Amino acid sequence: MNELSKQERYEKMKQIRDEVVALKNSPLYEFRVAEGNKPVIGEGSHFAEIMFVGEAPGKNEAASGRPFCGAAGRILDELLASINIPREDVYITNILKDRPPGNRDPLPEEVELYAPFLDRQIEIIQPKIISALGRHSMAYLFSKFDLDFELDQISKIRGKVFDAKAPHGSVKIIPLYHPAVAVYNPNQKDLLKTDFKILKEL
């Protein structure tokens, strides 16, 4: 795939944002409007080598339009700081760009509707590493990159590195626990920090 210029990447990301804003056929659109929420497209460098993919925005994210800006976001910031990688150097997004009611799990039809936007973001950014934060993004990314045969419980394969092929070249897929696990169980933070060291090594 050809290298995209800064302006081209910006324009393509803006196009995604505009399409998501106008996505009236989404089952989450009316909830977004009723709650006064914003879609959450993503945030970070359009030239990031590392891309983080969560499952869906939460309440704070939908209110602000920014990914990972609540309690889980503070833990993600702490994890990035632990490996000396500035947040602005990575790209952070979710499969779903709108918040599901009650922060429930994404439904299969919602993943199907929103995933093409994520696919385009991957093509624009051309990351070398994609980290799936949580089991839903792990399941989608493993399916997308033909790694279904490697799929297992996230507790068994978190922190492992899987080689895959993307249109822009080789990419490494790394499933990690969602930072929210450390919100509910602070003991998990050390485990997350250990897993994040793998990103630094790569």
d(CA 120, CA 142): 16
Q: In this model, does residue 45 exceed pLDDT 60?
A: yes
CATH number for the domain that contains residue 65: 3.40.470.10
Is position 92 within any domain? Answer: yes
Q: In this model, does residue 1 exceed pLDDT 70?
A: no
How many domains does one find in the chain? 1
Is position 24 within any domain? Answer: yes
Is position 1 within any domain? Answer: no
The domain in which residue 112 lies consists of 6-201
Is position 106 within any domain? Answer: yes
Could you report the per-residue pLDDT of 110-154, keeping only the tens digit for each? 999 999 999 999 999 999 999 999 999 999 999 999 999 999 999
User: In the prediction, which pLDDT does 39 show?
Assistant: 96
Q: What is the pTM of this model?
A: 0.95
Q: Which amino acid is at 33?
A: V
**Whether the Cβ atoms of residue 174 and residue 162 lie closer than 8 Å to each other:** yes
d(CA 104, CA 82): 30
Query: Which residue, chain included where needed, has tokens 């490494």?
Result: 172
d(CA 142, CA 199): 18
